[in-house]
Amino acid sequence: MTSTNKDIMTRFDEKLEHLKEQIKRPNPGANCAILTFKNILDVLGKEELKSHYFTNLAAPFPLFGGYKSKDGWKGPCGTVSGALAGIGVIIGGPKEISKASEVRKAEMNAGRFAIQFAKKFGSICCADICGYDLTNPDNMMEYMKNNTWENKCMHFVLFAIDQVRKQTEKELKKHWE
C-alpha cells in the first residue's frame, strides 16, 4: 500500500512521527510557516500541491509574525499562518473556495485553531510565545544562540499540524482520501 493509498489520518500520524525526528534540525531553507504548510500539503498527497509557489508563499510569514510595532501590535506566529493556509486548502478541497458558506467554514476553522493554539501556548503572537522581535537582528542572533527553535518553535509546528488534522478530519476524509 503506498502512502497515498493509506487513509488520511494514518498519513498524518506517519508524518508527525517522521517530523518529530527531522524537525530538530530542519533544512536551513525552511522556517516554521514553510514546515507547517508544506508538511500539511505533503500529507494531502496531490502532485499539484508540491509546487515551489507554496514554499515561496509561506516563506515571509515568520518575520511578519515576529514583528512588534512601536505601538504594541504583534504579528501571528508563522506556524499559525502556515496552519491557517493549510486549513484553507483542506476546506476547499479540489476546487477554489467560492461560496460564502465555504469562506465562513474556513474562517470558523481558523478561529477554532487560533483558540486551541492560544490555549496551549498562551498566545498566537510569535513575539509572545518565542520571546523575540525577529525583525531585530540582535534578537534573531539571540533566538539562534538560545536554540529557541529546538526548545520552543518546533513544538508549535508539531502541535499545529496535529491540531489541523484533528479539526478538519471530516473535510480531510471527504476531499483528500
The pLDDT of residue 28: 72
Query: Is the separation of the CB atoms in 161 and 39 below 8 Å?
Result: yes
Domain range annotation of the chain: 30-176
Could you tell me the maximum CA-CA distance found in the chain, to the nearest angstrom?
Answer: 55
Q: Return the pLDDT at 2.
A: 43
Q: What is the model's pLDDT at position 176?
A: 93
Regions in the chain scoring below 50 on pLDDT: 1-2
Q: What is the pLDDT of residue 84?
A: 96
**pTM assigned to the model:** 0.89
Q: For 5-42, give one letter per residue: b (16+ CB within 10 A) or e.
A: eeebeebbeebbeebeeebeebeeebbbbbbbbbbbbe
- The CA distances from residue 36 to 30, 59, 71, 95, 164, in Å, are 10, 11, 29, 21, 10
- Residue 124 in contact with residue 118, Cβ under 8 Å? yes
Q: What phi and psi, each to the nearest 5 degrees, are found at residue 25? A: -130, 75
